[in-house]
Amino acid sequence: MGEPSDRDTEALRTRARERMRQGRLPHSKAARTWGGLGSGLPCDLCDAAILSSEPEFELQLDLSAPSQSVRLHRQCHSIWNEVREEYSPANDWRSADEQPPPPGALVEARLSLGGTRSVILNVICLKEPSAPSSSWINATTGGPLPEGWRPIEWRYLSGAKAESAAQPSDSSLPKRA
């Protein structure tokens, strides 16, 4: 890969921010980071193959469950880590109407219970391809939100478990009846 130019570095920073917003790269520090020679698989930041002659960083996001690994070139790992440290998702509330979370992402949401009452709850936003709006489920029970509960805003959870939930497999989502 070689050392990226200043222009390339800024483009990779922009891409890291975008992929973090999309849930494709983690917002928080990995639970464990492994290093070694490249596996030939693509880098999750620059998309170029990590050659066997290059260092590769593999991020393990959740120690309690098997999860998809994130692989990065040495330089891409440094750039992602700088961007990650600038970004503070735990305090970054987003409007649920204007910017829903990535489908399947486990997030913390402030839910309106009607009137002036609200509650903060861990939820998963599901977006059916043919549906005009998102549906939300309670991450603890796996069931739909009670009638009248409406997400107002959301933010990523802090910690590794939230990051691994950003890219769930179909089998990790609760089944809806």
Non-local (6+) Cβ contacts of 28 within 8 A are: 84, 89, 158, 159, 160, 162, 163
For the segment 73-98, the average pLDDT, to the nearest whole number, is: 81
Query: What's the pLDDT at 64?
Result: 63
Q: Which residue has the higher pLDDT, 101 or 174?
A: 101
Band the pLDDT of 130: cuts 50, 70, 90: low
pLDDT above 50 for 175:
no
pLDDT tens by residue, 5-36: 557 889 999 999 999 888 888 887 777 888 99
pLDDT above 60 for 167:
no
pLDDT above 80 for 134:
no
Band the pLDDT of 70: cuts 50, 70, 90: very high
pLDDT tens by residue, 147-165: 889 999 888 876 433 333 3
Query: What's the pLDDT at 157?
Result: 76
The owner of tokens 């910690």 is 159
Q: What is the DSSP string of the chain?
A: --PPPHHHHHHHHHHHHHHHHHTSS-SS--SEEEEEE--SPBPTTT--B--TTSEEEEEE--SSS----EEEEHHHHHHHHHHHHH--GGG--EETTTSPPPTT-EEEEEEEEETTEEEEEEEEEE--TT-SS-EEEETTT-SBPPTT-EEEEEEEPSSHHHHHTTS--GGGSPPP-
Query: What's the pLDDT at 160?
Result: 32
Angle made by CA atoms 107, 109, 110, in degrees to the nearest 5? 170
Q: Where are the domains of the chain?
A: 6-87, 90-172
pLDDT tens by residue, 87-113: 655 557 888 888 888 888 888 899 998
For the segment 30-44, the average pLDDT, to the nearest whole number, is: 90
Non-local (6+) Cβ contacts of 150 within 8 A are: 111, 112
Tell me if 111 sits within 8 A of 120, measured CB to CB: yes
pLDDT above 50 for 166:
no
Phi and psi angles of residue 119, each rounded to the nearest 5 degrees, phi first: -145, 150
Classify the C-alpha dihedral 171-127-144-88 as positive or negative: positive
